[in-house]
Amino acid sequence: MTTLQIIGASSAVPDPGSATSCYLVRGQGITVLLECGHGAVGALRKYADPAELDAVLVSHLHPDHCLDLVALRNHLVVHGLPKLPLLLPVNGPAVLRALGEALGLGAGYFDPAFDVRTYTAGLPFALGDLTVDAVRTRHNTLANALRLTDGAGRRLVFSSDTGWFPELAELATGADLLLIEVTDPVTPDHGPRWHLCPRDAARVIAAARPGRALLTHYVAGAGDRILADTAAGCPGTPVRLAIEGETHHVGA
């Protein structure tokens, strides 16, 4: 049985005592850390030993999704753990090298801890018994929505960060569990749209009709309103907020 545990569900501004984007996916014989945002490693250690990880999968290289790779790197090196496969978008290796240099630690700072690999939207790849499909989202950097399908055909879809675009609903159609960001509490009046609001999240959920939907990457003070407004737009699909520490089964 594949499960999803919420490690961090905050927006880019972390809520008190919380981490930004970070989720733990446990499949048949594989444990994957999905995203590694601010505070992720400390939060993860409440629920799991980082030594249990088999891979890290990152949707895009914004800090609230990847910055705690620094802390994870330090944990792996200090504890003498083997290199961990780190799956990044194609711009990821250059970003990591630049980050190491910007911190004054050198371009190879992450090399002792991670076996860095890249993936490309439209080209499925395997992580243990999980098959991962990526679709580029509408965001202000290279970002990917991800679908993880286990050996029994159970499907977890993660929206990553995105404005509304029709291919997201296509990726999520028939998903057993949809983890979808709702960063904007209300629909912005103008400007480019790099995140979902309740109206647009509901639009995706209503079109995709997943078995269940979890709303994530939200501001905690607005959570109840976001949940109510989203659920009102997609009746018939169970919708909940993603809550740190909770574990959800993917499929029945």
Supply the Cα-derived Rg of the chain in whole angstroms.
17
**For residue 31, what is the domain's CATH number?**
3.60.15.10
Q: Which residue has the tokens 């910055």?
A: 67
Residue 184 has pLDDT above 90, yes or no: yes
Render pLDDT for 120-170 as a digit per residue (tens, 0 to 9).
999 999 999 999 999 999 999 999 999 999 999 999 999 999 999 999 999
Q: In the prediction, which pLDDT does 203 show?
A: 97
Query: pLDDT tier at 25 (50, 70, 90 boundaries)?
Result: very high
User: Can you give the residue range of the structural domain that contains 53?
Assistant: 3-249
The DSSP bridge partners found for residue 33 are 24, 56
Enter the pTM of the model. Answer: 0.98
Identify the band that residue 185 occupies on the pLDDT scale cut at 50, 70 and 90: very high
**3-class state of residue 201 by DSSP:** helix
Q: From CA 149, how far away is CA 54, in angstroms rounded?
A: 17
Q: Please, what is the average pLDDT of the chain?
A: 97
**pLDDT tens-place string over residues 87-124:** 999 999 999 999 999 999 999 999 999 999 999 999 99
Map tokens 């057993």 to a residue: 176
Q: What is the percent of the chain with per-residue pLDDT over 90, rounded to a whole number?
A: 94
Q: Closest by alpha carbon to 133, among 141, 57, 125?
A: 125
Pick the closest to residue 207 from 168, 240, 177 (CA basis).
168
β-sheet with 130-136: strand ranges across = 125-127, 130-136, 144-149, 155-158, 177-181, 212-216, 239-241
What residues contact residue 134 under an 8 Å CB cut-off, 6+ apart? 119, 120, 121, 122, 123, 144, 145, 146, 147
* Count of domains forming the chain: 1
Mean pLDDT of the region 223-227: 97
pLDDT at 252 over 70: no
Both structure tokens of 65: 């999704």
Q: Is the pLDDT of residue 229 over 90?
A: yes
Q: Six-digit token pair at 202? A: 């509901």
Binned at pLDDT 50, 70 and 90, residue 209 comes out as: very high
**Four-residue CA torsion sign, 46, 51, 52, 58:** positive
Bridge partners (DSSP) of residue 213 are 178, 239
Beta-strand relationship, 3-8 and 22-27 = antiparallel
